[in-house]
């Protein structure tokens, strides 16, 4: 029997009207037997996301303040959905329990997780599906990292073929039983884990767009939609700033080859974007997508004969490890190595990094380039065809954009250019125009 896992994002479950759309989608295909949900999102630009309100309640608790006004907004949202759908459940009892427990929780994760918890209970009642709490399915280890083996085992044991269930996204439990959440947007990861655990034929990720665009629609008007993309390409794009799907949601399904299908709750007949392991027709592929981000700093370290000095790069990277800074890229030359780090990662520690580099590595020169934007042009064709880099750099040159850094990542399918942050939008547009056919 075919099993599909359908994950619905916050905008797809923000109000009674969207709940009805979700029900129609589920009922259209009986193989959609496992559903994973986010917390209610915004109904309009001025609205609140329930998860944000829950985090705000926790902050108020920490500051010793009251949170009843915020909690009332949360309660009202769920009550209005339940009332409009005519659901018969003890919502007040559930809300009271959460309200009372909030002041006793030191970490924000319990509060944050309740958005998905309540939404899953509501949707399960509306669909006539079973509610299965993610607390008993998703396991983290003592260090707070996902325990994939234990999670897989629990899902296999509890979500049996023939069942129809709704599972809240975003959270699981630590070995001591306390609630732990994934990073923001993490319900995508829960969906992927459930798809893996039940061996789904496809992981459907229902959102408010008809798939993955070739470039961010905020940067280019009406960009082309990608109908087919590989996990590898998507991972490169997601890592480099494209956000439709949480990047950590790819591995659990890609490892065992379950395709991901991004779909639009508002256009349920649109086939969306299919994310697969391999594409047979490589001939037709060149650039699949373009993504980018501003706010990087490049630290260039230069030292004559660096390449013959054993352990130079190890010592350089150990400085970052010591300061708990993660770098994004590390292009290198014979006597030069650059560290490309996002400002949010550096978190004010740049001077400390420079001081330790000078002290421990005795470089000839250390230079910092501030305010760099990285643009990743991704496609299987980049590794397999000639002329793509030439088109990309010609497009940038025609716009008189100065390229400050080039890195064709180790995967070979990702050509990254660093430009000044001020040139970012124009550079993305120029690259897109060079490859859109
Ligand atoms: N509700 C959580 C968030 O807003 C998780 C999710 O929606 O994926 O980040």
Q: Which atom of ligand 1 is nearest to the CA of 39?
A: 1
| 184 CA → ligand 1 middle, Å | 5
Q: 190: CA distance to ligand 1 center in Å?
A: 11
289-436: CATH topology: VC0802-like (3.30.2130)
187 ligand 1 Cβ < 6 A: yes
> Which residue's C-alpha comes closest to atom 6 of ligand 1?
185
* Cβ of 170 below 6 Å from ligand 1: yes
Q: Which residues lie across from 202 on neighbouring strands? A: 4
Asked if residue 115 has its Cβ within 6 Å of ligand 1, the reply is: yes
Cα 350 to middle of ligand 1, angstroms: 31
Give the three-class secondary structure for 28: helix
Alpha helices by DSSP H, 240-336: 251-254, 312-322
Element (H, E) at 202: strand 202-207
Ligand 1 pocket residue status of 185, Cβ below 6 Å:
yes
Q: In the chain, which residues fall in CATH 3.30.2130.10?
A: 289-436
Query: Where in the chain do CATH 3.40.1160.10 domains reside?
Result: 4-276
Asked whether 3 and 35 are in contact (CB, 8 A), the reply is no
pTM of the model: 0.86
Residue ranges of the chain with per-residue pLDDT less than 70:
283, 409, 437
Residue 431: name the closest of 275, 234, 287, 260 by CA.
287
**Ligand 1, pocket-test mutation among 114, 186, 207, 248, most atoms within 8 A of CB:** 186
pLDDT value, residue 408: 79
- What distance in angstroms lies between residue 183's CA and the mean position of ligand 1's atoms? 8
Span 16-27, pLDDT tens digits? 999 999 999 999
pLDDT at position 385: 81
Cα of 12 to ligand 1 centre, how many Å? 12
3-state helix, strand, coil in the chain (%, to 5): 40, 20, 35
Q: Give helix 68-84 / helix 16-28 axis angle, nearest 10°.
A: 50
Tokens of 344: 């949010």
Match 């959609």 to its residue by tokens: 32
Q: What is the CA(8)–ligand 1 centre distance, in A? A: 11
The distance of Cα 324 from the centroid of its chain, to the nearest Å, equals: 22
- What is the distance in A from the centroid of ligand 1 to the CA of 238? 17
Cβ–Cβ under 8 Å, residues 394 and 358? no
Is the Cβ–Cβ distance between 33 and 127 less than 8 Å?
no
- Which protein residue has the closest C-alpha to ligand 1 atom 8? 185
* Cα angle 213-219-220, degrees, rounded to a multiple of 5: 65
CA of 369 to the centre of ligand 1 (A): 34
Q: How far is the CA of 186 from the centre of ligand 1 (A)?
A: 6
Alpha carbons within 13 A on the beta-carbon side of 41: 17
Place of tokens 């590794």: 383
Structure tokens at 134: 């993610």
Q: Is the CB of 39 under 6 A from ligand 1?
A: yes
For ligand 1, what atom is nearest to the CA of residue 52? 4
Determine whether 428 is exposed, middle or buried from the number of CB atoms within 10 Å of its CB (0-12, 13-18, 19+). buried
Q: CB neighbours of 314 closer than 8 A, spacing ≥ 6?
A: none
Say yes or no: CB of residue 169 within 6 Å of ligand 1: yes
Q: What is the pLDDT of residue 120?
A: 98
- According to DSSP H, which parts of 159-311 are helical? 187-197, 231-239, 251-254
Q: Which residues contact 96 (CB under 8 A, 6 or more apart)?
A: none
Does ligand 1 have an atom closer than 6 angstroms to the CB of 183?
no
- The closest residue, in CA terms, to atom 5 on ligand 1 is 185
pLDDT number for residue 336: 92
CA of 370 to the centre of ligand 1 (A): 32
The answer to whether 240 and 329 have CB atoms below 8 angstroms apart is no
CATH architecture of 4-276: 3-Layer(aba) Sandwich (3.40)
**Cβ 186 under 6 angstroms from ligand 1:** yes
Contact 268, 21 (CB under 8 A): yes
Distance of CA 260 from the midpoint of ligand 1 (Å): 19
């Amino acid at each position: 029997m075919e099993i599909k896992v359908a994950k619905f994002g916050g905008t797809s479950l923000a109000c009674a009207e969207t709940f009805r759309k979700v029900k129609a989608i589920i009922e259209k295909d009986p193989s959609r037997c496992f559903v994973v949900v986010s917390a209610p999102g915004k109904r309009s630009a001025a609205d609140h996301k329930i998860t944000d309100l829950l985090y705000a309640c926790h902050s108020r608790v920490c500051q010793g303040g009251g949170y009843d006004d915020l909690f009332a907004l949360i309660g009202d949202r769920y009550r209005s959905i339940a009332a409009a759908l005519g659901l018969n459940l003890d919502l007040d009892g559930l809300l009271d329990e959460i309200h009372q427990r909030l002041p006793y929780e030191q970490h924000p994760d319990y509060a944050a997780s309740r958005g998905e918890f309540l939404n899953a209970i509501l949707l399960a009642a509306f669909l006539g599906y079973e509610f299965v709490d993610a607390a008993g399915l998703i396991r983290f280890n003592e260090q707070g990292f996902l325990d994939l083996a234990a999670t897989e085992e629990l899902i296999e044991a509890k979500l049996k073929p023939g069942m129809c269930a709704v599972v809240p996204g975003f959270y699981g439990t630590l070995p001591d039983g306390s609630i732990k959440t994934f990073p923001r947007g993490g319900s995508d990861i829960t969906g992927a884990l459930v798809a893996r655990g039940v061996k789904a034929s496809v992981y459907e990720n229902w959102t408010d767009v008809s798939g993955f665009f070739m470039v961010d629609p905020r940067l280019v008007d009406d960009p082309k939609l990608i109908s087919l993309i590989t996990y590898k390409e998507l991972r490169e794009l997601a890592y480099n700033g494209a956000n439709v799907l949480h990047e950590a949601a790819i591995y659990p399904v890609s490892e065992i080859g379950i395709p991901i299908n991004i779909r639009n709750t508002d256009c349920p007949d649109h086939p969306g974007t299919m994310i697969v392991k391999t594409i047979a027709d490589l001939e037709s592929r060149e650039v699949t997508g373009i993504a980018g981000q501003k706010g990087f700093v490049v630290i260039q370290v230069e030292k004559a004969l660096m390449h013959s000095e054993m352990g130079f790069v190890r010592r350089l990277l150990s400085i970052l490890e010591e300061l708990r800074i993660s770098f994004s890229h590390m292009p290198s030359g014979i006597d030069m190595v650059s560290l490309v780090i996002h400002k949010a990662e550096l978190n004010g520690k740049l001077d400390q990094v420079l001081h330790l580099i000078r002290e421990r590595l005795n470089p000839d020169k250390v230079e910092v380039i501030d305010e760099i934007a990285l643009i990743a042009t991704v496609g299987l064709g980049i590794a397999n065809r000639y002329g793509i880099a030439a088109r990309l750099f010609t497009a940038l040159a025609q716009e008189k954009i100065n390229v400050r850094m080039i890195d064709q990542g180790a995967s070979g399918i990702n050509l990254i250019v660093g430009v000044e942050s001020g040139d970012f939008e124009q550079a993305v547009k120029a690259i897109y125009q060079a490859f859109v056919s």
